[in-house]
Chains A and B, each alone.
Chain A
Amino acid sequence: MCLGRRLLNYTMAIFWLRVALALYGVGLLYALVALTRTSDLFNRVALHAAYLGMMFHLVSLTEGVLLTGHVTMAMVHNSESLLAFLIMAVFMITYLMYQTTSPGIIVFPIVFLLTFMAATRQQPFLLMSPGMRTSWLIAHISLIFTGYAALVLSFCASLLYLIQQHSLKTKRASGILSRLPALEDIDQIGYRSLLIGFPFMTLGLVAGSVVAESTYGRVDFQDPKILLSLLMWAVYLVMVYTRWIAGWRGRKAAVLASVAFAAAVVAWAANYFSTIHRFASS
């Protein structure tokens, strides 16, 4: 009986997530269309779809928490979903601050992909070692994820910076290019999300090492996930440093941001083959 209800709840959570997915799909469509032509109306429609999507997404995440009864478990199970939600949140904050949906060109596909992965997963997979220190784990996950979300946005911004710089240099601007925010605004979006994301990432890694210490008694630097996370953090650090000291932006900054982003993606994917950080059932 209890299992049945849980299953039902699980189905509902997935259902809401799929509704959110459909709404993000509108955003995705916007991103694709926006590459070739612009439409104010569509812009607004996509934005509202994204708002609604976030709402359903939140419902889905909340149900996930109610379902497992543990914030930690829910976070681990719905990691892609949670990350997608946080990226959307950062995107919306950017929109409110800068009145631009341009990062959406890159944000929407990423969010759509993450949500898609979460929404089409067949089985709720479980696995947590008993005796983990949950509060540290919650801190670890939420800090790292916020860091990830900020990193994704910063990556988007550096790509947009390149696009805008290119269009200004070649002296041709049409379609979406003429709607991109000003170069310095894009630069600020990228830099700020970098500055905000970095401490989150750092603290998240610290929290992670505390969890590892307390669970396994040590931090296993041989583990691919941990190795990659550290690499990502190092690139992150270099990015903040070069920007801070030398004001790197444009091409150089975009290259660094791409490396950091690639490291982040690989580190994320490493969940599936890491021995200690696995939360996928084998």
Chain B
Amino acid sequence: MRFQLIGVNHNTAPVEVRERLSIPESRLPEACKRLTEHPGIEEGMILSTCNRVEILANTKNGAPADLRGFLQNYFHLDAAELERHLYEYTEQEAVRHLFRVAASLDSMVVGEPQILGQVKEAYATARAVGAVRAQLDQLVTRAFAVAKRVRTETAVGSSSVSIASVAVDLAKKIFGNLAGKQVYLVGAGKMSELAARHLMAHGCASIFVANRTYDRAVSLAYKFKGQAIHFEDLHHTCDRADIVITSTGAPHAIFRREHGEIFLARRRNRPMFFIDIAVPRDVDPAMNKLDGIFVYDIDDLQQAVASHVADRRKEAERAEAIVTVEVERFQARIQTLDVVPTIVSLQDHLETIRQAEIDRVRGRLGRMTPDQEMAVEALTRGIVNKIMHTPISTLKSAARDPEATTVIDLVRRLFNLQEKGVAKAGDSGESN
């Protein structure tokens, strides 16, 4: 077997190229089928997301397959134009690449969780049409296990790296469950809307919107299915909200310490979270000194994002180390799998010869005493074992060697084991 992978991703190809290579979900099963029909390919899988298109194959008889040819045929593309953006890996490097992709180490935002799900879908699709069978199955399921290991043993995917998700994290740190929490959106802006949308997605119940221009508030409220409030009523109504997102263009703070004291008294000291995205700031920093009011301005949020990004980079290094170990482990495993059936059939082969020879001479030897019977048995067994010893130990040590396949081939040819060996290899592959 021989793994081979070809593809483009966000690093190697601009979106114009990626979109031309992407395969919509509906056409994926058919594409997988065509991939397996391509000459030299035993099994295949296609991963097509917005950031990458990759074709993974297990080639026939360990010979390289023309995956570029498949791409050209399938997409009717010019080879030279494509070539600049393509990367291709084989064997160990293909395994490593797949592991890294599944573990989200090759993603644009390292550690983002979607990619694993996308690989799983690609796998399910290919499997459903029979394009993924024994060996590729082992490889891909191993990739899932590696991804899981990376996720549990490192913190590569655990921190938020966008302002909106940091805001959600902080809200969760304060309120625990966000279900039923009220959000107040003061002013408008892309980032504040995004934060509000994130909060709603995490269970916040309803939203109030206040804006200097009431019409704008109404249209925003409509968008969020919330309630528009006149700007003059802001301070009377604000205590109803647990989370306040402000981004007005006001030159001075619109929320000051005395407002905070009033809010707290009305809320019977239940905590309040102010997300101040405006510059100049809408919330007086003195508010943060009040027990139960938490104010985060744009710098605080950006700092959190930056430190999370740095953390991720550190964790990614640890994740790479895990991947390296796992690649080696996987290689060792498939190579031993390669060797085992050959050893078994070699043993079978010599045992058959031994039995046949004993049966052949038994007539000539006449009746033997049990002692003699045992002596013949021991003698023949001894000879066979001595002969087999070297080839078996050579095979076993070859299993750890990249040149394993040549040794296996040689042994098979020497003892004429070809057919049996291949059949067994297939069996053991499937049962594993």
Residues of A within 8 A of B (CB): 40, 164-165, 168-169, 171, 173, 181-185, 246-252
Asked if residues A171 and B303 are in contact (CB atoms below 8 Å), the reply is yes
Known: A165-B291, A171-B296, A171-B303. A250 touches B269 (CB 8 A): yes
A-B contact pairs, 27 of them (CB 8 A): A40-B152, A165-B291, A168-B170, A168-B173, A169-B289, A169-B294, A171-B296, A171-B304, A181-B176, A182-B172, A182-B173, A182-B174, A182-B175, A182-B177, A183-B174, A183-B175, A183-B176, A183-B271, A184-B271, A185-B176, A246-B269, A247-B268, A247-B269, A247-B270, A249-B269, A250-B291, A251-B291
Tell me, rounded to whole Å, the shortest Cβ–Cβ distance linking B179 to chain A.
12
Q: How far is the CA of A64 from the CA of B152 in the complex (A)?
A: 44
**Contact residues, B275-328 vs A (CB, 8 A):** 288-289, 291-292, 294, 296, 300, 303-304
Contact partner of A184 (CB less than 8 A), chosen from B152, B176, B267, is: B176
Tell me, rounded to whole Å, the shortest Cβ–Cβ distance linking A72 to chain B.
42
Tell me, rounded to whole Å, the shortest Cβ–Cβ distance linking B156 to chain A.
15
Tell me, rounded to whole Å, the shortest Cβ–Cβ distance linking A88 to chain B.
24
Q: How far is the CA of A247 from the CA of B174 in the complex (A)?
A: 16
Task: Name the 5 nearest CB pairs between A and B, nearest first.
Answer: A247-B268, A182-B176, A247-B269, A250-B291, A185-B176
Known: A168-B170, A171-B303, A247-B268. A184 touches B175 (CB 8 A): yes
Q: How far is the CA of A184 from the CA of B268 in the complex (A)?
A: 14
In the bound complex, residues from chain A placing their C-beta under 8 Å from that of B291 are 165, 249-252
Q: List the A residue with the shortest CB-CB distance to B303.
A: A171
In the bound complex, residues from chain B placing their C-beta under 8 Å from that of A165 are 291-292
Contact partner of A171 (CB less than 8 A), chosen from B176, B177, B300, is: B300
Known: A247-B270, A249-B269, A250-B269. A168 touches B176 (CB 8 A): no
Q: List the B residue with the shortest CB-CB distance to A162.
A: B291
Q: How far is the CA of A40 from the CA of B176 in the complex (A)?
A: 20
Q: How far is the CA of A158 from the CA of B229 in the complex (A)?
A: 37
In the bound complex, residues from chain A placing their C-beta under 8 Å from that of B270 are 247
Q: How far is the CA of A271 from the CA of B166 in the complex (A)?
A: 52
Residues of B within 8 A of A (CB): 152, 170, 172-177, 267-271, 288-289, 291-292, 294, 296, 300, 303-304
Asked if residues B292 and A249 are in contact (CB atoms below 8 Å), the reply is yes
Q: List the A residue with the shortest CB-CB distance to B153.
A: A40
Tell me, rounded to whole Å, the shortest Cβ–Cβ distance linking A161 to chain B.
10
In the bound complex, residues from chain B placing their C-beta under 8 Å from that of A250 are 269, 291-292
In the bound complex, residues from chain A placing their C-beta under 8 Å from that of B303 are 171
In the bound complex, residues from chain A placing their C-beta under 8 Å from that of B292 are 165, 249-250
A-B CB contacts (within 8 Å), total count? 48
Q: How far is the CA of A185 from the CA of B175 in the complex (A)?
A: 7
Q: List the A residue with the shortest CB-CB distance to B292.
A: A250
Tell me, rounded to whole Å, the shortest Cβ–Cβ distance linking A80 to chain B.
34
Q: How far is the CA of A248 from the CA of B267 in the complex (A)?
A: 11
In the bound complex, residues from chain B placing their C-beta under 8 Å from that of A181 are 176
Q: How far is the CA of A252 from the CA of B270 in the complex (A)?
A: 13
Q: List the B residue with the shortest CB-CB distance to A245.
A: B268
Tell me, rounded to whole Å, the shortest Cβ–Cβ distance linking B81 to chain A.
48
Q: List the B residue with the shortest CB-CB distance to A244.
A: B268
Asked if residues B173 and A183 are in contact (CB atoms below 8 Å), the reply is yes
In the bound complex, residues from chain A placing their C-beta under 8 Å from that of B170 are 168
In the bound complex, residues from chain A placing their C-beta under 8 Å from that of B269 are 246-250
Q: How far is the CA of A183 from the CA of B271 in the complex (A)?
A: 9
In the bound complex, residues from chain B placing their C-beta under 8 Å from that of A246 are 268-269
Q: How far is the CA of A164 from the CA of B292 in the complex (A)?
A: 11
In the bound complex, residues from chain A placing their C-beta under 8 Å from that of B173 are 164, 168, 173, 182-183
Tell me, rounded to whole Å, the shortest Cβ–Cβ distance linking A238 to chain B.
16
Q: How far is the CA of A276 from the CA of B83 in the complex (A)?
A: 94
Tell me, rounded to whole Å, the shortest Cβ–Cβ distance linking A68 to chain B.
45
Q: Given A171-B303, A182-B174, A249-B269, 10 other A-B contacts at CB below 8 A?
A: A40-B152, A165-B291, A168-B174, A181-B176, A183-B271, A184-B175, A184-B176, A246-B268, A246-B269, A247-B268
Tell me, rounded to whole Å, the shortest Cβ–Cβ distance linking B278 to chain A.
18
In the bound complex, residues from chain B placing their C-beta under 8 Å from that of A248 are 269
Tell me, rounded to whole Å, the shortest Cβ–Cβ distance linking A261 to chain B.
20
Tell me, rounded to whole Å, the shortest Cβ–Cβ distance linking B310 to chain A.
12
Q: List the B residue with the shortest CB-CB distance to A188.
A: B176
Tell me, rounded to whole Å, the shortest Cβ–Cβ distance linking B270 to chain A.
6
Q: List the B residue with the shortest CB-CB distance to A40.
A: B152
Q: How far is the CA of A181 from the CA of B152 in the complex (A)?
A: 20
In the bound complex, residues from chain B placing their C-beta under 8 Å from that of A169 are 288-289, 294
In the bound complex, residues from chain A placing their C-beta under 8 Å from that of B172 are 182
In the bound complex, residues from chain B placing their C-beta under 8 Å from that of A182 are 172-177
Most buried by B among A181, A247, A248, A252: A247
Q: List the A residue with the shortest CB-CB distance to B294.
A: A168
Most buried by A among B267, B270, B300: B270
Q: How far is the CA of A169 from the CA of B274 in the complex (A)?
A: 12
Q: List the A residue with the shortest CB-CB distance to B176.
A: A182
Asked if residues B296 and A184 are in contact (CB atoms below 8 Å), the reply is no
Q: How far is the CA of A168 from the CA of B293 in the complex (A)?
A: 10
Q: List the B residue with the shortest CB-CB distance to A183.
A: B174
Tell me, rounded to whole Å, the shortest Cβ–Cβ distance linking B263 to chain A.
12
Q: How far is the CA of A247 from the CA of B267 in the complex (A)?
A: 8
Q: How far is the CA of A248 from the CA of B264 in the complex (A)?
A: 10
In the bound complex, residues from chain B placing their C-beta under 8 Å from that of A251 are 291
In the bound complex, residues from chain B placing their C-beta under 8 Å from that of A184 are 174-176, 271
Most buried by B among A164, A173, A182, A249: A182
In the bound complex, residues from chain A placing their C-beta under 8 Å from that of B176 are 181-185
Tell me, rounded to whole Å, the shortest Cβ–Cβ distance linking B92 to chain A.
31
Q: How far is the CA of A184 from the CA of B179 in the complex (A)?
A: 13
Q: List the A residue with the shortest CB-CB distance to B289.
A: A169
Tell me, rounded to whole Å, the shortest Cβ–Cβ distance linking A194 to chain B.
15
Q: How far is the CA of A170 from the CA of B412 in the complex (A)?
A: 70
Tell me, rounded to whole Å, the shortest Cβ–Cβ distance linking B75 to chain A.
46
Tell me, rounded to whole Å, the shortest Cβ–Cβ distance linking B97 to chain A.
29
Q: How far is the CA of A173 from the CA of B270 in the complex (A)?
A: 22
In the bound complex, residues from chain A placing their C-beta under 8 Å from that of B289 are 169
Q: How far is the CA of A139 from the CA of B168 in the complex (A)?
A: 48
Q: List the B residue with the shortest CB-CB distance to A187.
A: B271
Q: List the A residue with the shortest CB-CB distance to B178.
A: A182
Q: How far is the CA of A126 from the CA of B271 in the complex (A)?
A: 51
Q: How far is the CA of A120 from the CA of B266 in the complex (A)?
A: 52
Q: How far is the CA of A185 from the CA of B271 in the complex (A)?
A: 12
Tell me, rounded to whole Å, the shortest Cβ–Cβ distance linking A267 to chain B.
29
